[in-house]
Amino acid sequence: MMKLIDQMVVLKCPALIGPVYSAVGRADAVPAAEYKKQWRDVVKNLKVLCKYAAKNKKKVCLEPLNRFETDFINTCDQGLKMLKDVGSPALKLHLDTFHMNIEEKDQGAAIRKAGKHLGHFHACGSDRGTPGNDHIDWKPIARALKAVKYNGDVVIESFTTDVKVIARAAAIWRRMEPTTDEIAVKGLKFLKKNLK
């Protein structure tokens, strides 16, 4: 990840995002004592990474994933606890409506709880398809983003079956929408209208 930060400097990329605490696909619930040890290891390593990111004027945005993709950090509360334990202003939270749809009781409340710590946001359909072509209630999400004065990127993250490694990790076994262009065009139109 430190090499990624070096590349971010070259590319003028502001933030390293995603599950920066684990390899993708880590879902092997471990005993509580082992989990605590792993938590300490992640805190130690994120402190080093965030120090390097801060030195390079970059952010690291930690994304809680749903229980089917990781057993380590699934909720906004767990993410905020990691931010507190690491204690670096370079570390922010990265929330994703797809994962929150599974793990949070109230997406708007989770966004409000993240507040000033929200550094990146994925606006994804409940099936990882087009936002607005799903069952997510977007009004509380829009109100919460406005309430916390979030002004960062809002990104549609969808997947296809074309990239096999990612498709397998995200359990994408079928086409989510007729075309990827439809996700981008209709999704952007929906988000511009609803998130303003």
List active site positions: 63, 157
Q: Measured between alpha carbons, how far apart are the two ends of the chain, in Å?
A: 33
Contact status, residue 191 vs residue 155, Cβ threshold 8 Å: no
Q: How many alpha carbons fall within 13 Å on the CB side of residue 101?
A: 16
